[in-house]
Chain A
């Protein structure tokens, strides 16, 4: 077993720290924490995962479950391309598909101006050397999604993308990690972390745990965990609202987004239609309770009735929101701590981290076990906003 090369004090292989203690503690039992636990355990390390609530409690189960490469931030494209291959290999990798269904993704233009933006987008990804985003005309678009409203003019289509069942995907990683010996604990909340002689001592409501390596995959709570070791970063908690309809007759295969209006839309295998689009409720990080804002869901209802006329007759049976962490530039924090050895971050995925779950867990495991990764993670460095999160301009970061 190899020693973590980038972490001189991280112990000595399998016998790190103590004879019985874990090699790595992962904080957070969402998709990213479970994926990291699986990949680290696959590399032969002993993993302890601490989840303060239950597995997949927030962003991971409240997610829309989009497995989408379409319209990714340029910095995320290399990661999203690699992650998709892992989604297609889930069955081999985990013994469980996580209910991934590769039915494609579509981004629709409703105006000429939006159509021009789609064309420009495809030109950009082509110039970067990627050809997964394909511009389709009105006729082809209606072949792919006949239920779209007549105002829709064309779309970007991405084949081999699709959606998964977020809870089942997360549990697939959790179970695969547990099978490899990872110790997964629910109801264990982290209260404090100290670095003590080359080991992280993690104080929790269930006692103290220690390991030479720590992974922060705490989602919207990631900045709180980072701050416990003095690494302050800007992060906002968002409650992204979703709603679901009663079962409807089958009318749609791909996941559909619109360019001009906030909407993500898919019909599940059950016939239920799941609607998202980044409409925000109010999160409470202390209680984990999210409050919905039906004024915005009203807008969402109006949008889906416009884009899919068949939806005007649908019934909404449930709406919800999970708590997600968002960064100023709308891309996550991934990679090693810049203040401590033996600490790796993977949080703040800004509402589009689901598809990246499989690859980022793998990257984190590579960093721990090999000290490097071939994928470009420099844009996601934890210290990219400087030492003072309060001085960061969210508007300027977003614009850049």
Chain B
């Protein structure tokens, strides 16, 4: 696409695909950028390949995943497919909506009329002793390998952590015929009691709730050892994971593994939205930062909206609804539909969104992450620069009052991932040390390029689309 699109969407997961389909239906020229070679995002990763019989068998991923190929097929059949740019990395978005992307080693800048950030979720980093040892990875990454390459982990291994994805992946492994692993469930005792008040809301979506409980049952019935209320997990090994230790009841446990898969729920992937910068707020229930949005997904910057998990974790069904709402709003803002028409079309989508979010309170309470204040000083916080919790605390003691100051002093967050892995932890450590809520402590300021850009590629950057747009105005 050479001229600036009406609606540029970043991320081809459920929110991005739904927004693209809806946007094109409303007559918008849509561009959809995604890093992956196939549409679907993380949750429906490689949906087309899996449906076509490549990778792991479709049945292994359950009924939910089967909806992925359908969504992708709808997108492929939509006029929006003409604006699909796979294997494309977004490295810049600013408050003037200047969007920078790079595909096949060629970087370009353009200025779309509207931008929708649909960058989804990332797994919450789980800093614990030894988590940077080779052989430790996230459940999500392992699941991604299974979806895209049909790769099942080699025993002995263990899944460790808390959250719906833990049992979902365990059940997928069982369905794929693998039972030689252990589940270390770190959800603390008493969480169900605390989550119970949210049950009436969750019952509105009994389907989802029963699915969750069913997965847990399925894993246990298959004979997979499930240890609950596990604490004090630590990884050991010389250059490679050899075993994992933990506390289970009054016992000290030890498990030989060659692979440990960690998971502690998901949080919004805010790299792009923080770098704009959009205004962000602290979500106390989900213990994460998310962009401040109105009911249409509009941010505080004109023409930039967010849909899906990137605006707050709601799951894929909520994401598709939010994507459609954002597309309706874009069509209205660009003069394609009247306000009343927008609202009329939005009503059934909002009802779907409400159902999709009904179980959130329960899930958020049940799987709330452990407080980071207790993190041992020796535990690494920033993987890129190998900065420990102790070094972060020392920096705070030396007068650093905010995450950016800690970053300046310790280099935490200065590596290639730009704090994607340590931002939340450092914000929480600063907040705890200063007795402030995390939003008062603040976040890292993220700086473009949000993904590393080779000097030669930057030197060859094509800026013509922005020049033309500025000449025209």
Distance between B462 CB and nearest chain A CB, rounded to angstroms: 9
* Chain B residues whose C-beta falls within 8 Å of the C-beta of A305 in the assembled complex: 455-456, 459
* Chain A residues whose C-beta falls within 8 Å of the C-beta of B455 in the assembled complex: 245, 301, 304-305, 311-316
A292 in contact with B405 given A171-B399, A297-B458, A315-B453 (CB within 8 Å) = no
Distance between A154 CB and nearest chain B CB, rounded to angstroms: 25
Could you tell me the distance between the alpha carbons of A54 and B409 in the complex, rounded to whole angstroms? Answer: 14
Distance between A362 CB and nearest chain B CB, rounded to angstroms: 22
Contact A317 B400 (CB under 8 A): no
Count A/B pairs, Cβ under 8 Å: 108
Interface residues of A in 316-350 (CB under 8 A from B): 316-320
Could you tell me the distance between the alpha carbons of A174 and B459 in the complex, rounded to whole angstroms? Answer: 39
Q: Is there a chain A Cβ closer than 8 Å to B418's Cβ?
A: yes
Contact B95 A294 (CB under 8 A): no
Could you tell me the distance between the alpha carbons of A54 and B461 in the complex, rounded to whole angstroms? Answer: 35
Q: Is there a chain A Cβ closer than 8 Å to B100's Cβ?
A: yes
* A301 contact from B448, B458, B466, Cβ within 8 A: B458
A171 in contact with B398 given A294-B463, A295-B463 (CB within 8 Å) = yes
Contact A317 B418 (CB under 8 A): yes
Could you tell me the distance between the alpha carbons of A246 and B449 in the complex, rounded to whole angstroms? Answer: 12
Contact A246 B416 (CB under 8 A): yes
Could you tell me the distance between the alpha carbons of A186 and B401 in the complex, rounded to whole angstroms? Answer: 9
Could you tell me the distance between the alpha carbons of A311 and B458 in the complex, rounded to whole angstroms? Answer: 12
Interface residues of A in 280-324 (CB under 8 A from B): 289, 291-292, 294-295, 297-298, 301-302, 304-305, 311-320
Distance between A175 CB and nearest chain B CB, rounded to angstroms: 5
Number of interface residues of A (CB under 8 A): 38
Contact B448 A292 (CB under 8 A): yes
Could you tell me the distance between the alpha carbons of A315 and B89 in the complex, rounded to whole angstroms? Answer: 15
Q: Write out, one digit per residue, whether chain B residues 432-473 have a CB within 8 A of any chain A CB (1) or not (0).
A: 000000000000010111001111101111010011000000
Contact A298 B456 (CB under 8 A): no
Distance between A278 CB and nearest chain B CB, rounded to angstroms: 18
A291 in contact with B458 given A171-B398, A175-B399, A315-B453 (CB within 8 Å) = no
Contact B405 A167 (CB under 8 A): yes
A301 in contact with B401 given A316-B449, A317-B452 (CB within 8 Å) = no
* Chain A residues whose C-beta falls within 8 Å of the C-beta of B399 in the assembled complex: 55, 171, 174-175, 178
Q: Is there a chain A Cβ closer than 8 Å to B224's Cβ?
A: no
* A294 contact from B398, B408, B461, Cβ within 8 A: B461
* Chain B residues whose C-beta falls within 8 Å of the C-beta of A272 in the assembled complex: 414
| Nearest-CB residue, chain B, relative to A187 | B401
| Nearest-CB residue, chain B, relative to A247 | B415
Could you tell me the distance between the alpha carbons of A167 and B399 in the complex, rounded to whole angstroms? Answer: 11
* B95 contact from A168, A291, A304, Cβ within 8 A: A291
Distance between B88 CB and nearest chain A CB, rounded to angstroms: 17
Contact B277 A289 (CB under 8 A): yes
Contact B463 A319 (CB under 8 A): no
Q: Write out, one digit per residue, whether chain A residues 40-61 have a CB within 8 A of any chain B CB (1) or not (0).
A: 0000000000000011100001
Task: Identify the interface centre among B96, B455, B460, B467: most chain A CB within 10 Å of its CB.
Answer: B455
Q: Is there a chain B Cβ closer than 8 Å to A20's Cβ?
A: no
Q: Is there a chain A Cβ closer than 8 Å to B92's Cβ?
A: yes
Distance between B386 CB and nearest chain A CB, rounded to angstroms: 12
Contact A167 B449 (CB under 8 A): no
Distance between A293 CB and nearest chain B CB, rounded to angstroms: 9
Size bracket, chain B contacts? 35 or more
Distance between A172 CB and nearest chain B CB, rounded to angstroms: 10
Q: Write out, one digit per residue, whether chain A residues 121-142 have a CB within 8 A of any chain B CB (1) or not (0).
A: 0000000000000000000000
Distance between A183 CB and nearest chain B CB, rounded to angstroms: 14
Q: Is there a chain B Cβ closer than 8 Å to A374's Cβ?
A: no
Could you tell me the distance between the alpha carbons of A250 and B458 in the complex, rounded to whole angstroms? Answer: 23
Contact A319 B418 (CB under 8 A): no
Q: Is there a chain B Cβ closer than 8 Å to A270's Cβ?
A: yes
* Chain B residues whose C-beta falls within 8 Å of the C-beta of A178 in the assembled complex: 399
Contact A294 B452 (CB under 8 A): no
Could you tell me the distance between the alpha carbons of A318 and B384 in the complex, rounded to whole angstroms? Answer: 14
Task: Identify the interface centre among A56, A171, A317: most chain B CB within 10 Å of its CB.
Answer: A317
Contact B449 A54 (CB under 8 A): no
* Chain A residues whose C-beta falls within 8 Å of the C-beta of B92 in the assembled complex: 292, 294
Contact B463 A298 (CB under 8 A): yes
Distance between A256 CB and nearest chain B CB, rounded to angstroms: 16
* Chain A residues whose C-beta falls within 8 Å of the C-beta of B48 in the assembled complex: none
* Chain A residues whose C-beta falls within 8 Å of the C-beta of B109 in the assembled complex: 294-295
Could you tell me the distance between the alpha carbons of A250 and B10 in the complex, rounded to whole angstroms? Answer: 37
Distance between A41 CB and nearest chain B CB, rounded to angstroms: 15
Could you tell me the distance between the alpha carbons of A311 and B409 in the complex, rounded to whole angstroms? Answer: 25
Q: Is there a chain A Cβ closer than 8 Å to B168's Cβ?
A: no
* A246 contact from B96, B411, B452, Cβ within 8 A: B452
Q: Write out, one digit per residue, whether chain B residues 56-93 have a CB within 8 A of any chain A CB (1) or not (0).
A: 00000000000000000000000000000000000010
Q: Is there a chain A Cβ closer than 8 Å to B320's Cβ?
A: no
Task: Identify the interface centre among A245, A295, A304, A316: most chain B CB within 10 Å of its CB.
Answer: A316
* Chain A residues whose C-beta falls within 8 Å of the C-beta of B460 in the assembled complex: 298
Distance between B296 CB and nearest chain A CB, rounded to angstroms: 24
Task: Identify the interface centre among A167, A168, A301: most chain B CB within 10 Å of its CB.
Answer: A301
* Chain B residues whose C-beta falls within 8 Å of the C-beta of A317 in the assembled complex: 414-416, 418, 449, 452
Distance between B404 CB and nearest chain A CB, rounded to angstroms: 7
Contact A318 B414 (CB under 8 A): yes
| Nearest-CB residue, chain B, relative to A186 | B401
* Chain B residues whose C-beta falls within 8 Å of the C-beta of A318 in the assembled complex: 414, 418, 447-449
A168 in contact with B452 given A289-B277, A297-B458, A302-B459 (CB within 8 Å) = no
Could you tell me the distance between the alpha carbons of A274 and B400 in the complex, rounded to whole angstroms? Answer: 22
Contact A316 B96 (CB under 8 A): no
Contact A289 B95 (CB under 8 A): yes
Could you tell me the distance between the alpha carbons of A106 and B455 in the complex, rounded to whole angstroms? Answer: 22
Contacts A56-B405, A305-B456, A319-B449 supplied; 10 other A-B pairs, CB < 8 Å? A55-B399, A56-B408, A291-B94, A291-B96, A294-B448, A313-B455, A315-B454, A315-B455, A316-B454, A318-B448
**Would you give 23 A-B contacts (Cβ < 8 Å), ordered by A?**
A54-B401, A54-B402, A56-B405, A56-B408, A168-B408, A171-B399, A186-B401, A270-B411, A272-B414, A292-B448, A294-B463, A295-B109, A295-B463, A298-B458, A298-B459, A301-B456, A305-B456, A311-B455, A313-B454, A314-B455, A316-B458, A317-B414, A319-B447
Binding site for B on A (CB under 8 A): 54-56, 61, 165, 167-168, 171, 174-175, 178, 186, 244-246, 270, 272, 289, 291-292, 294-295, 297-298, 301-302, 304-305, 311-320
Binding site for A on B (CB under 8 A): 92, 94-96, 98, 100, 109, 277, 398-402, 404-405, 408-409, 411, 414-416, 418, 445, 447-449, 452-456, 458-461, 463, 466-467
Q: Which 8 A-B pairs have the closest CB atoms?
A: A167-B408, A301-B458, A315-B452, A301-B459, A302-B459, A318-B447, A298-B461, A320-B447
